[in-house]
Amino acid sequence: MLKYLIFSWVLLTITMDVRSQIPTPITHSKETSIIPSPVKIVYEDVRSEIKSLIFPNNLPIDKKFLNTLFTYGKYSFAQSKKKVNVILLSQKDMAPSSYKLIIGKKRIEILASDNNGFQYALVSLAQIVQFEGFPLQCRTIEDNPAFVYRGMHLDVARHFFTVAEVKKYLDYMAYYKFNHFHWHLTDDQGWRIEIKKYPKLQEHAAYRNETLIGHYNDQPHKFDGVKYGGYYTQDEIKEVVLYAADRNITVIPEIEMPGHALAALAAYPELGCEVKKYETATKWGVFEDVFCPYDTTFRFLEGVIDEVVSLFPGKYIHIGGDECPKDSWRKSEFCQQLIKDNNLKDEHELQSYFIKKMEKYINGKGKQIIGWDEILEGGLSPNATVMSWRGVQGGIDAATLHHDVIMTPGSHCYFDYYQSENPTEPLAIGGLTTIDKVYHWNPIPESLAAENHKYILGGQSNLWSEYIHTYSGVEYMVYARGMAMSEALWSTSKNYDGFLSRFERHADFWKSKGAKVAMHIYDIKPRFKAGTGKGVELSFVTPQDANVVCTRPDQKSENLSVGSSIKIDQSGTYTFKAIKGNREGRALKLDFDLHKATQATIILDKSPSKPYEGQGPASIINGVQGSNAKYGGSEWLGFSGNDASGTIDLGKNTSINELKFRFFKGEGQWIYLPKSLEVEFSSNGEKADTTLVINDIKSDTKVAEVIVNAGVNETRFIKFRAKNYGIIPEGAQGSGHPAWLFIDEITVR
């Protein structure tokens, strides 16, 4: 535990104001090596004479962590009672978690008001030493975090990670100044924490009979037939919590309720609404079997909370509250009577009743609850903090009600999403969250009133582990984007090019330690210009002005200068690669099919949902098909609850034989094929000359290709409407929510 104080002898070693010993500083534009980037750095035109670091014995930082920090690199350090060159000064008038780091010619001085500030200063010093080496450039750094909550999440319920691996995660967090670890300990697929009062939780709920192979959307489902599981003993929990505290990280346990409870029901079936045998889930998704709000259920959960509270000294207990289907409650006579007896409107208010009852008990234990934004439905609990994951609206609503909010929208914070469109990426749940998208994220929504900004405590990255079997998979999905997230939550000013320069050094450092870090910053990001009636042009976003080498379908190669574009004038495969010095990105191959619509213009009736807007409406007529395996990226357009409809203008009357539409199917992720497809052909854009309707669209694969046999002459305008499925039915993943509709290339011949 971080329990050391700054002793008075340190202050006595300072006989004058330390700032008076520093020469007049000169501001330099030199790029720092620190991630996250400090608020202010002033460099001097002199180098320090220090050749190794000598710390005082009594430090406000755990000695083992100090050893980890400064033995990451090749530079030595020591501790001494008397002869030191790193001086720590307690300054009570400084803001919490802030620090001042002064690297002088003969000594280094750190000023802070609390242990957090001293630790963050030492982390910054460790990074400077690691990436710049001795002799150090003299400088003064003034720094403080932009947000008080800077979190990282790890799901150990779907796949289990050892205590040693969790400690690695905590070391990474501390190195980038995160201060909250959200530990997702229970779910349908496994219960991972020992509860001594209920031994069946670790005997039965901690294990599942087998595990799904491949993606949930793959049909038919296949399983490995191997029993899987594990749990943390209470002694191991204490060990992790202490290890985190030594790094100034608060651990927030998540005990899911009332949904995501299938593993617990497998151990204690009497807590479910139906009399039947429950099994720990062997596949992913949402299940209709949830805790039934009996008195015995609340007594059970209170017993669990009693032991959880004793293990986690932090302020918060996360109770989940997300993705709780109401089907079993609707069928339950007990639940329906409970709704009547308590004058509740419906099952949503019953969930609020459930959450409020547990919140009252948890508050009585001196703790506060955090819940996912579904806890807003049916009325928000009085003292609850909301984690906004289904976009930003939940956070806006909660902050407007003057509740604390932690922002974690899937569009920017879900690190189980793909981080590159390259087809060689390992299997992921879906979506696309690139490192630059994470870096440029602001946790405060633009539409939130300024007076409510104070309720946004910060943000958090989430790593759900359905498709992550090993810790090297955790490293691959987290370590690159985690650096970007650290800067998004700490730094007040952003410089992406500067970040990329620092990121390269940090990534090389972690790889030298054996970590598997995703290096996608030199992957080319294409920018299409289409839908203007002038064909397809392509330009690129490349980091740090890398050059692009293009190989055309005829195998002719050319170097493209920074900022230039290329006209796509023939069908076939184009290959692009970014190169800068001895670094290069992975090859990007784009197969272009120049059909009649690639020369057209397009107008959509409604814009796609913001997280899935591709590169605008022209994404679906640019001659490139989206991935058959994943729905995020630059090609697929996603519509939540809305139809996909619009008009393609071919520019002149043209004969059309056939159209091909592509739709994504992923019902486990709320993505449904359209109910119907209607296509109108018109020569003047006002009156339909021909209308075709296709109903009963089906597919056995993830992508449905719908062929429309047109056979029309002299038509210029093509109006199309793919009708959204509507509300997801009971018993399905996401029941009660509007379905997503994803559309890709519309090929016209």
Positions marked catalytic: 187, 260, 323
Spatial CA neighbour of 544 closest among 516, 585, 576, 510: 585
Burial of residue 720 (number of CB atoms within 10 Å: 0-12, 13-18, 19+): buried
Angle among Cα 372, 311, 479 to the nearest 5 degrees reads 55
Helix (H) or strand (E) holding 488: helix 471-490
- Alpha-carbon distance values, 133 to 33, 48, 53 (Å): 11, 11, 12
Binning the chain into helix, strand and coil, the percentages to the nearest 5 are: 30, 30, 45
d(CA 230, CA 208): 10
Residue with token string 């151990």: 267
Hey, is 492 helix, strand or coil? coil
Helices vs. strands in the chain: H and E counts, helices first = 16, 36
- Helical pair 63-71 and 115-132, crossing angle rounded to 10 deg: 20
Q: Say how many Å lie between the first and final Cα of the chain, rounded.
A: 70
623: left (phi over 0), alpha (psi -120 to 50) or beta: left
In sequence order, what are the beta bridge partners of 721? 645, 678
- Alpha-carbon distance values, 454 to 152, 177, 206, 444, 449 (Å): 21, 21, 40, 9, 10
Residue with token string 């400077």: 128
Spatial CA neighbour of 455 closest among 723, 739, 181, 148: 148
According to DSSP, residue 669 is labeled: G
State both tokens at 152.
């990282």
* Max intra-chain CA distance, the chain: 93
In sequence order, what are the beta bridge partners of 717? 649, 682
Angle among Cα 520, 522, 527 to the nearest 5 degrees reads 100
Hey, is 402 helix, strand or coil? coil
